[in-house]
Structure 1
Amino acid sequence: MTKRPTLLATAHERGITTLTLDSPANRNALSARLVGELGEALAVCAKDESVRAVVLTHTGSTFSAGADLKAPPNPYTFVGLLRQIVTLPKPVVARVSGHVRAGGLGLLGACDIAAASTGADFAFTEVRIGVAPAVISLPLLPRMDPRAAERYYLTGERFDAAEAVRAGLLTLAADDVDEALAPVLAGLRGASPQGLAAAKELLAARVIEAFDRDAEDLVQRSASLFASAEAREGMTAFVERRDPAWVL
């Protein structure tokens, strides 16, 4: 039996393991398979003493287009992945050089450091299909500027990397994202594993509080929205590349 190709590429160099979302055909949409493979790879990194930090990046022009509407992950599994990133005892650094939409923004929010090229762009597109950024709010709302979250959650507007830094979604943006990340990775390589784990635990405490308090409610809220007639119209319109019925 032929083994299906992996949707995640892994590389390791001098203490840094790079996990690359490698499903460009569907713009690295978060399918059940991709979420599962990423969770398994992170679990390996957590136990591997040679891993000082993890870089999460992508192939193609899109970091992630959000949930794969054709093969979506179980919402509890996706929440588990976000929590796994937040609680991993090694820093996780997002490296973006393209588009990020919807659930892909949840991955950025869960990472400890997020860097993007100045050509990257971002959008919370959920409202365009009749749903809301529910479960991804768990790592995002504790970290984002409240006024920015209100604007972009409600309008679905696209915004650039400089605005993403101002909004608290990104740590930094630069023309050459790899050059900008070089001192960050050097700092992580020079840090003690115990010190990194302890510092990350302090920084993540407020985000973990949100998971403990709100995860079940947001999973249920998301499921209710996706099951609605309005969401069915929104998703159908998206597939058919037309405006949904409510557009004025």
Structure 2
Amino acid sequence: MTALVHHEARGGVATITLDSPHNRNALSVRLLGELERALHHAIGDEGVRVIVLTGTGPVFCSGADLKEQAPAQNGRPHDAPVTASFPEIMSLVWGSPKPVICRLNGTARAGGLGLVAACDFAIAPDSATFAFSEVRLGVVPAMISVTVLRRLDPRAAAEYFLTGEVFGAARAAEIGLLTRAVPAEELDATVAHYAGMLLRGGPESLAITKQLVRTVPGMSVDDGMREMARLSAQRFTSPEGQEGIRAFMEKRPASWIPEPGSEGDTAP
């Protein structure tokens, strides 16, 4: 049976590729299972520092596999819904201690946008289009709202969640869904640029900083100052912090930066 998700690690970067172009990389039960395993593999691999999530074909992800959601002969939905492990997968991406870059190979719809929003960075070709099409099918963007509403401008979320209207990559970047929309010929170079910058950060520092971006805005100023002063002192004296300072003073790469040309293992 041909795999629907491929995983490759090289130079500290794990690339996870959705490879089900025949149904526009729809979130079938089998694809979700393979994606979950690939994510666990990449997160648990000590040699991996950055994860890139991408796809094959003209569509990054079209959302739920509607063939699996269609009623069975008895008029009821099939017993194994496509959403069986989707919340866990979005949580894995969102909570990954390793930065996750979504390299959109093309268009995304509905559930696919939940994955986009769960990633730390999202880079798309400027020709890509997007839509939260759930209401037009009589369903709701329930699960993906958990990640998407943490990214989108509230007015834009209401506009596109309620209308299901298709919008372009420039608009997606404007409202916070994408980090960058670039010409298709610049996509790989832009993703490589971000991955290269992330590889220069300390692994522990990156994981902690991911959490700061999300938690500090919810703190009061007094609590934030107190907690961040404690964390700052802790990190300056940590082994990773001390190594980073020594490397800077000695004008050399820090020990966590992969050597040029280094490669990891390719997962089955």
Of 64, 72, 75 in structure 1, the residue corresponding to residue 61 of structure 2 is 64
1:61 maps to a residue whose letter is P
Distance 1:7 1:135 in 2: 23
Q: Bigger radius of gyration, 1 or 2?
A: 2
Q: Deviations over 1:141-175 (max 9, x none)?
A: 01110111111111111111100001110011110
Kindly indicate whether residue 83 of structure 2 is the aligned counterpart of residue 83 of structure 1.
no
Kindly indicate whether residue 150 of structure 2 is the aligned counterpart of residue 153 of structure 1.
no
Deviation at 1:125, TM superposition (A): 0.8
Q: Which residue of the partner structure matches residue 203 of structure 1? A: 213
Of 3, 7, 10 in structure 1, the residue corresponding to residue 4 of structure 2 is 7
Distance 1:87 1:79 in 2: 12
CA contact (8 A) 1:109 1:169 kept: yes
Deviation at 1:78, TM superposition (A): 0.9
Q: Greater share of helix residues, 1 or 2? A: 1
1:142 maps to a residue whose letter is R
Runs of 4+ in structure 1 deviating by more than 6 angstroms, as ranges, are: none
Of 39, 47, 50 in structure 2, the residue corresponding to residue 50 of structure 1 is 47
Kindly indicate whether residue 31 of structure 2 is the aligned counterpart of residue 34 of structure 1.
yes
1:152 maps to a residue whose letter is Y
1:11 maps to a residue whose letter is E
Kindly indicate whether residue 184 of structure 2 is the aligned counterpart of residue 181 of structure 1.
no
TM-score of the pair, normalised by structure 1: 0.79
Of 79, 91, 114 in structure 1, the residue corresponding to residue 122 of structure 2 is 114
Deviation at 1:199, TM superposition (A): 1.1
Q: Which residue of the partner structure matches residue 100 of structure 2? A: 92
CA contact (8 A) 1:97 1:119 kept: no
2:106 maps to a residue whose letter is G
Give 3-state SS (helix, strand or coil) of 1:70's partner. helix
Give 3-state SS (helix, strand or coil) of 1:116's partner. strand
Q: Which residue of the partner structure matches residue 21 of structure 2? A: 24
CA contact (8 A) 1:15 1:189 kept: yes
Of 180, 184, 194 in structure 1, the residue corresponding to residue 204 of structure 2 is 194
Distance 1:204 1:21 in 2: 28
Q: CA RMSD in A?
A: 1.4
Distance 1:182 1:20 in 2: 16
Give 3-state SS (helix, strand or coil) of 1:41's partner. helix
Distance 1:33 1:150 in 2: 32
Distance 2:84 2:21 in 1: 25
CA contact (8 A) 1:21 1:58 kept: yes
CA contact (8 A) 2:28 2:82 kept: no
Deviation at 1:201, TM superposition (A): 2.2
Q: Which residue of the partner structure matches residue 76 of structure 2? A: none
Deviation at 1:204, TM superposition (A): 4.2
Unaligned 5+ segments in structure 1 are 207-248
Unaligned 5+ segments in structure 2 are 70-80, 217-268
1:74/1:64 Cα in 2 relative to 1: closer, same or farther (>3 Å)?
Answer: closer
Identity, % of aligned pairs?
48
CA contact (8 A) 1:87 1:204 kept: no
CA contact (8 A) 1:15 1:52 kept: yes
Q: Deviations over 1:183-217 (max 9, x none)?
A: 211111111111111111223449xxxxxxxxxxx
CA contact (8 A) 1:99 1:121 kept: yes
Give 3-state SS (helix, strand or coil) of 1:50's partner. coil
How many residue pairs match? The answer is 203
Q: Which residue of the partner structure matches residue 130 of structure 1? A: 138
CA contact (8 A) 2:124 2:187 kept: yes
Distance 2:33 2:6 in 1: 13
Deviation at 1:180, TM superposition (A): 1.9
2:86 maps to a residue whose letter is F
TM-score of the pair, normalised by structure 2: 0.73
Q: Which residue of the partner structure matches residue 104 of structure 1? A: 112
Distance 2:83 2:125 in 1: 30
Higher RCO, 1 or 2 (CA under 8 Å, sep at least 6)?
A: 2
Give 3-state SS (helix, strand or coil) of 1:178's partner. helix
Give 3-state SS (helix, strand or coil) of 2:85's partner. helix
